[in-house]
Amino acid sequence: MPSVTYISAAGSETAVAGFAGDSVMETAVRNGVPGIVAECGGSLSCATCHVFVCADSVFPPMEDLEDDMLDGTAVDREANSRLSCQLKLSDVDIRVTTPETQV
């Protein structure tokens, strides 16, 4: 079971166990992790699950639609910005930081 560590903009950390194949967003919502709004439920249409992927966590490159959606986030995107609904867990532990706000 992979572990996902969510780091808030203020620096507090919440680590939860996830399931391979689930998204980082699904794992956050299921475990009540603050900072992930997920208004669209993971359908890639709201950008309220924006996260910053920590350098030690690796995911496949983003698709064009995710790239376009990141232009509409409440907090400006950065080079390591991703939508957590598009990040699928594998067997490795990961770390992401949530922005100060999603809306």
The class that CATH gives domain 3-97 is alpha beta
What 3-state DSSP class applies to 17? strand
What pLDDT is stored for residue 6 in this prediction? 99
At 26-51, the pLDDT tens digits run 999 999 999 999 999 999 999 999 99
Tell me, what DSSP letter sits at residue 66?
A: H
pTM, two decimals, is 0.96
Alpha-carbon span 6 to 35, nearest angstrom? 9
Report strand pairing: 3-7 vs 94-97: parallel
The amino acid present at 49, given as its one-letter code, is C
